[in-house]
Amino acid sequence: MTLNGGHVLVTRPEHQAENLSRLIEQQGGIAVRFPTLEIVPKDDAAQIKAKLANLDEFQWVIFISANAVNFALKANSGKIGRAESVRFAAVGQATARAMKIEGLPVDLVPEKGYSSEALLAMPQLQQVEGQSVLIVRGEGGREQLATTLRSRGAEVDYLEVYKRVIPEIDSSPVAELLEQHRLDVITVTSAEALQNLSLMLGKNKNNKLLSLIPLVVVSDRIRCIAADMGFNRVAVTDSPTDTAILETVINVCDRGIKWPN
pLDDT of residue 256: 62
CATH: 1.10.3720.10, 2.40.50.140, 3.40.50.10090, 3.30.460.30. Which one for 7-37+167-253? 3.40.50.10090
The burial class, CB within 10 Å (0-12 / 13-18 / 19+), for 18 is middle
Convert the pLDDT of each residue in 244-257 to its tens digit: 999 999 999 877 67
**For the chain, what is the mean pLDDT?**
90
Percent of the chain with pLDDT over 90: 69
- Report whether pLDDT(261) > 60: no
pLDDT of residue 113: 74
Cβ pair 164, 39 in contact under 8 A: yes
Cβ pair 117, 142 in contact under 8 A: no
Look at the domain 40-164 and name its fold: Rossmann fold (3.40.50)
* 7-37+167-253 matches 40-164 in fold: yes
pLDDT of residue 260: 63
Residue ranges of the domains in the chain? 7-37+167-253, 40-164
Residues whose CB falls within 8 Å of the CB of residue 118, separated by 6 or more in sequence, listed in order: 91, 92, 110, 112
Which of 251, 254, 249, 199 lies closest to 23 in space, CA to CA? 249
pLDDT of residue 31: 96
Number of CB atoms found within 10 A of residue 130's CB: 9
Convert the pLDDT of each residue in 88-145 to its tens digit: 999 988 899 999 998 899 999 998 877 888 999 999 999 999 999 999 999 987 889 9
Residue 105, φ and ψ in degrees, nearest 5: -70, 150
- Give the least confident one: 79-93, 96-110, 222-236: 79-93
- What whole-number distance in Å separates Cα of residue 112 and Cα of residue 92? 8
- Give the least confident one: 64-73, 114-123, 159-168, 203-212: 203-212
- What distances in angstroms separate CA 117 from CA 143, 185, 231, one per listed residue? 11, 28, 25
Residue 92, φ and ψ in degrees, nearest 5: -155, 180
**Model-level pTM?**
0.81
